[in-house]
Amino acid sequence: MFNRLSEKLGDIAHKLRGSARISESDLDATLREMRMALLEADVALPVVRHLMEEVREQALGAEVARSLQPGQVIIKILHDVLADLLGGQRRDLDLSKIPSVILLCGLQGAGKTTTAGKLARLLVAQGKKVALTSVDATRPAAREQLQVLAGQVDVPYIAGVGQTAAAMARSAINEAGRSGCHVLILDTAGRQVVDDALMAEIREVAEAVKASERLLVLDSMTGQTALPIAEQFHAAVTMTGCILTKTDADVRGGAALSVARSTGVPVRYVGTGEKIEAFEVFDPRRMAGRILG
């Protein structure tokens, strides 16, 4: 993820570090190069425009031309703007309630079920007592897949009972509370496309469970298509974060920047491979640093 962007911006940063003087036209040329790099990385145009305006405004304000290390000043500005765009300060999940419910939403194939297992594993490593449940009322195979994953990461799978997804969710939470779980990760049904039935069901589940965290699982390979998907889910259920999957296969990374900026929903984790341990906390500042090389 961000490999190509990192290569290009890294080159720009390298050139800047070596510059003793930077005129306003040098700054413009640098901004043009940055703009190209971001567009090639599949970052949405309005997001690129915003980023460039921010950098330019701050660079002029910082009187880059007259500063002793002008290149460093621009790099620092770019770093901060990128980090802000990616969500600013890293935020931990709010798991203060017992049990806390983490609701996972997303389209089928985005990697939701795999991510539920990965997140469970990570939280167990942090000392939490975690359980998994799927409220996919129509696809028993989806519930079975999660049950197998629960076995792999050694956490209980709770089978919620009820005719509707919301009823299943309520029953699973009661069970999680009875068995002393700290966290219940609740996987919802996915669909091929965003449709009204899916949204109505997710809204109903969200209202029934009062989830502490509502995380949207997005396939980073969908690039800019991720944007309308994220916007629709966010409109139905106010998301508290998003998890980008398959970042190992995505060399561009534009989706992460675009989604974070356009919806204001920060990326909290990234999936970095098919294996259960291929999962990382997303830290905007560290990522901005990595992109700039």
What ranges in the chain are assigned the alpha helix state H? 3-17, 24-40, 45-61, 70-85, 112-125, 140-153, 165-178, 196-209, 226-236, 254-263, 284-292
CB nearer to ligand GDP: give 4 or 35: 4
In this chain, which of 8, 56, 112, 121 binds ligand GDP, going by CB under 6 A? Answer: 112
User: What string marks each residue from 241 to 270 as x (binds ligand GDP by CB under 6 A) or -?
Assistant: ----xx-xx---------------------
Q: Are 34 and 78 in contact (CB under 8 A)?
A: yes
Residues annotated in a binding site for GTP = 106-113, 187-191, 245-248
Q: Report the nearest approach of ligand GDP to the CB of residue 246 (Å).
A: 4
Show contacts with ligand GDP in window 175-194 (CB under 6 A).
190
Token pair 């989706």 is found at 255
Cβ-based nearer residue to ligand GDP, 112 or 182:
112
Nearer to ligand GDP, 190 or 266 (CB): 190
Is 111 an interacting residue with respect to ligand GDP (CB under 6 A)? yes
Q: Tell me whether residue 30 or residue 245 sits nearer to ligand GDP (CB atom).
A: 245
Least spacing, CB of residue 257 vs ligand GDP, in Å: 18
Residues 111, 247: Cα–Cα separation, whole Å = 11
Helix intervals (H) in 18-139: 24-40, 45-61, 70-85, 112-125
State yes or no: residue 114 binds ligand GDP (CB under 6 A). Answer: yes
Name the binding residues: 106-113, 187-191, 245-248
**Taking CB under 6 A as the rule, which mask of x and - marks residues 54-93 in contact with ligand GDP?**
----------------------------------------
Nearest approach, Cβ of 45 to ligand GDP (angstroms)? Answer: 27
Cβ-contact 243, 215 below 8 angstroms: yes
Supply 207's token pair: 């209202």
Tell me: cis bond preceding 70? Omega within 30 of 0 counts.
Answer: no
Q: How far apart are alpha carbons 181 and 161 in whole angstroms?
A: 18
Using CB atoms within 10 Å of the CB of residue 275, give its burial: 0 to 12 exposed, 13 to 18 middle, 19+ buried. Answer: exposed
Q: Does 227 bind ligand GDP (CB under 6 A)?
A: no
- Footprint of ligand GDP on this chain (CB under 6 A)? 106, 108-114, 190, 245-246, 248-249, 271-274, 278
